[in-house]
Chain A
Amino acid sequence: MPRIALTKGRILEPALDWLARRGFAARAPEADRALRLPLGNGWEALLLKPADVPTFVQNGAADLGIVGSDTLEEDQSDVYDLRALGFGACRLSLAAPVDKDWHGASPLRVATKYPRLTRQLLGAAGFIPRVIRVTSSVELAPALGLSDVIVDLVDTGRTLAANGLREERALASIEAHLIANRRSYRFLDSRWWDG
């Protein structure tokens, strides 16, 4: 059965809408915690954490996947990045405490879920960051002395503000992308990524 891996969280709804526009019976899952979702037309959706979507696709457990370009660029998985989907837009940004000057920090300690992208993007901007990898609640890091600044996804900026942070610099635009593994790309209808 062909499968598409979807990201649980903020891009799930628009991903299901995108599938519905392509003729799939895609509805948000009920509260039964099921991780497999029948889509009709012989397809099934898998609901995964973002970082797992490329892994499932790369290894053939799913044929296609919808995942943010942040995860895609960070993980460097061996998948095809077939198209940007025009939803799930946000920014990968540098954010700092509103009440502290971080400009003179040396080395600049940066907490992030995206160590590879952070080194690459801050390096290109002239910084030599000391990257501290965290996997959640990154906004807490500066207030508790773990880092000077953070690099994280920013949409409205409300989570930053609620934690005494402000967006200082947008480093990259992020949006949802359609990915495929090398085998499925050869056997699926190209209308998936052309249309």
Chain B
Amino acid sequence: MRPMLEPSPGLWIESTARLRRLEEVLRSVWRERGFQEVLAPLLLPDAAVEKISPEALRSRTLHAAAGREDFAVRSDFTAAVAWMATRRGNGCSGVQRLWYRGTVVRAPRADSVEEIESYQMGCERISAEPDGDDEVARLAAESLMALNLEGSVLELGHGAMVGPLLDRMAWPADARKALERALDRKSVSSLAELAERYGRTAESDLLAKLIHVGGRSPEVDALRPELRAACLEETWDSLRSLGESLRATFPALAIRLDPTDVRHWSYYSGLTIKAFSPRHPRAVLSGGRYDGLYPALGSAMNACGFAVHLSRLLQEVG
């Protein structure tokens, strides 16, 4: 027997109407800040996606054959916007502020309730200089407030804080992969096992401490001598200063700094941003700085941006 979708027009109409309301709220905030809408392609050449997408996303990208070329279905807006912007010669000078909306499609995971297709809106700030972290982080905070997500946690991390520690550890490639996985899961015990197997270093010790203290800034501050020795103190200070400025402007948000909570190490080159709401099961906003993306497509530009996961906002937890 074929499984049938029970018609429930009330549910669909209500969800669509809510989505449109959320969309309108964000559009209004972003237009006010000088961001312009772009229509990013739904299909991208496989070769471009291979070149610019993080490995974890590539593994969940769906593909379609069209004519003589193979295409990847958009699994992430950042890559789609970058591909389009570099093809059109956008952003060759000055600052480009772009926003987008639409669906992304990812291969399902058996253990996840996430739909294959999800709806996002996001913005990108593309510039010749790697600047504008402050502007993008503020816009993320403003977006949360406009969506009535007071009480949410806005978390900042930094790819250039832990990335250098990983790079300095001369562990073999498979150990590096396991190490990234341990960091992604905040698993101090896995990190300790890896250090025992591949050699404990000052970097592995510092990573373990940073994972352990998580987002508790005073405890990261207590690690200053070690951060200084690892040439990371300046990065931590810039993150801390951005956090303090956001706290002062957005007291209804909990601003959290967690330098180790960065996914896709090779992708994010600087600031990372994510937000969690107590009412929603997964991150409602995520993004960061990915300065390697445009150069990989042949453009000497830098970019920082975030996506709001609107379809996640339609799911609430009890």
Q: Does B106 contact A (CB under 8 A)?
A: no
Quick one: which of A157-195 are within 8 Å of B by CB?
A: 177, 181-183, 185-187, 190
- Give the residue name and chain of the B residue nearest to A59 (CB): B113
B182-204 CB mask vs A (1 if < 8 Å, else 0) is 00011111100000000000000
State the CA gap A182–B258 with chains docked (Å). 13
When A and B form their complex, what is the total count of cross-chain residue pairs whose Cβ atoms lie within 8 Å?
58
Q: Are A181 and B281 in contact (CB under 8 A)?
A: yes
A53-69 CB mask vs B (1 if < 8 Å, else 0) is 01100111100000001
Q: Are B280 and A80 in contact (CB under 8 A)?
A: no
Q: Are A83 and B283 in contact (CB under 8 A)?
A: no
Quick one: which of A81-97 are within 8 Å of B by CB?
A: 81-84
Chief secondary structure at chain A's binding surface: mixed
Q: Known contacts A59-B281, A190-B216: does B111 contact A182 (CB below 8 Å)?
A: no
Closest-CB distance, A46 to chain B (whole angstroms): 13
Chief secondary structure at chain B's binding surface: loop
Q: Known contacts A82-B186, A177-B189, A186-B155: does B111 contact A75 (CB below 8 Å)?
A: yes
State the CA gap A60–B276 with chains docked (Å). 12
Closest-CB distance, A173 to chain B (whole angstroms): 9
Q: Are A186 and B276 in contact (CB under 8 A)?
A: yes
Q: Which of B181, B189, B216, B276 contacts A182 (CB under 8 A)?
A: B276
Q: Report the count of interface residues on A (CB-CB < 8 A).
A: 26
- Give the residue name and chain of the A residue nearest to B153 (CB): A186
Q: Are A183 and B282 in contact (CB under 8 A)?
A: yes
Quick one: which of B281-299 are within 8 Å of A by CB?
A: 281-283
For A26, list chain B residues within 8 Å (CB).
none
Q: Which of B186, B214, B317 contacts A60 (CB under 8 A)?
A: B317
Q: Does B97 contact A (CB under 8 A)?
A: no
Query: 4 closest Cβ contacts across the A-B interface?
Result: A60-B281, A81-B187, A186-B153, A81-B185
Q: List 5 A-B contacts (CB under 8 A).
A: A60-B317, A181-B281, A183-B280, A187-B276, A190-B214
14 additional contacts (CB under 8 A) given A1-B318, A80-B187, A183-B280:
A59-B281, A60-B280, A60-B317, A75-B111, A81-B185, A81-B187, A177-B189, A182-B283, A183-B281, A185-B214, A186-B153, A186-B155, A187-B278, A190-B214
